[in-house]
Structure 1
Amino acid sequence: MKVLIVSDTHGRDENLEHVVMNEAPFDMFVHCGDVEGREIFIEALVECPCCIVSGNNDFFSDLPREEEIELDGNKVLVTHGHYYGVSMDISGVAEEAASRDCQAVFFGHTHKPVIEEIDGVLAVNPGSLSYPRQHGRRPSYVVLESKNGKMSAEIRYL
């Protein structure tokens, strides 16, 4: 199973379109928030099951604040992360995932890519395709592969 994970596109679709075309085919698409009204466009673009949650800039959105999804036998919490203080420390979002018996948490908000295992929870932040903030400021996303329930994630850059 191949999952494309993105976040913080902020209504700017050019890099997202590029990534979707380059990474296809994939089995699921996850957006960790701040789509800024582009969810219908994104769902049509990816042509596969989607999980899109709201971010702190998704004002008046009907998107869920967070979702729990199943990926190849693993339970995953998907959230933007701003309610869990991820800008300061990602341990809180990992603890929330663990408290829900999730094996992973996908989040955004910081615009900085991270893959880290915290107390048995795989914490994945794909960074931002539109406004990267990490050193070098390259747009980023994550490709997660899962085989027989074992997940492995890789940060990729444009």
Structure 2
Amino acid sequence: MKIAVLSDTHDHIWNLRKAIQIIKEQKCEVIIFCGDFCAPFTAVILAESALPIYACFGNNDEDQFAISEKLKAVQLWPLTKEFAEVELESKKIAFCHYPKLGKLLAGTGDYDAVFHGHTHKAYQEQVGKTLLANPGSICGIISGKLAPASFGIYDTLSSSYTSVSLLD
């Protein structure tokens, strides 16, 4: 199973639509979203993928009630505030918004993979037996400057993770 891992859209709907197109082309079956939808309409656009979505809030998701309501309207999985864990294809996966929490979760050794957002910088590392990865950001901004927009794809069959650039 291929799982698309996204974070930090910050309302960049054009990059989000581009990511959804790639997600469909790559035949991903699930989306994990690591926070910072920002505006409620972003959740509706994400739902255009027609895939199951596991998501958590980020620090810029001010109107959590409205985002939750939009997600209910499009029948997505409920959002979590801190972190969530899910088992997909016999892989234990945790996800959150903040990197410190992500590192702590990975350090427990309880998961095959842990994903987080917040920093907007894509990276991956192995923490013991656990893959720890940040998909980067859909918005393509780091500290107020343009940066590569990206997301990740985790393959449960091979336990591999690939960063996907949204550059043309």
* Alignment partners' CA distance in 2, 1:23 and 1:99: 30
Superposed CA RMSD in Å reads 2.1
- Partner AA of 1:32 in structure 2: C
* Alignment partners' CA distance in 1, 2:50 and 2:116: 22
* Alignment partners' CA distance in 1, 2:87 and 2:17: 25
* Alignment partners' CA distance in 2, 1:13 and 1:117: 31
Aligned to 1:68, the other structure's residue is in SS state strand
The residue number in structure 1 matching 2:43 is 39
The match for 2:130 among 108, 121, 128 is 121
**Is the CA contact 2:140–2:146 (under 8 Å) kept in the aligned structure 1?**
no
TM-score if structure 1 supplies the norm length?
A: 0.83
Cα deviation for residue 136 of structure 1 reads: 7.8
Q: Among the aligned pairs, what percent are the same residue?
A: 28
The residue number in structure 2 matching 1:79 is 96
- Partner AA of 1:140 in structure 2: S
The residue number in structure 1 matching 2:2 is 2
Aligned residues, how many?
A: 147
The match for 2:163 among 152, 155, 158 is 155
Cα deviation for residue 98 of structure 1 reads: 4.2
Cα deviation for residue 30 of structure 1 reads: 1.1
TM-score if structure 2 supplies the norm length?
A: 0.79
- Partner AA of 2:28 in structure 1: F
The residue number in structure 1 matching 2:80 is 64
**Is the CA contact 1:32–1:52 (under 8 Å) kept in the aligned structure 2?**
yes
**Greater Cα shift, 23-32 or 62-71:** 62-71
* Alignment partners' CA distance in 1, 2:124 and 2:7: 14
1:103 aligns with 2:95: no
Aligned to 2:20, the other structure's residue is in SS state helix
The residue number in structure 2 matching 1:50 is 53
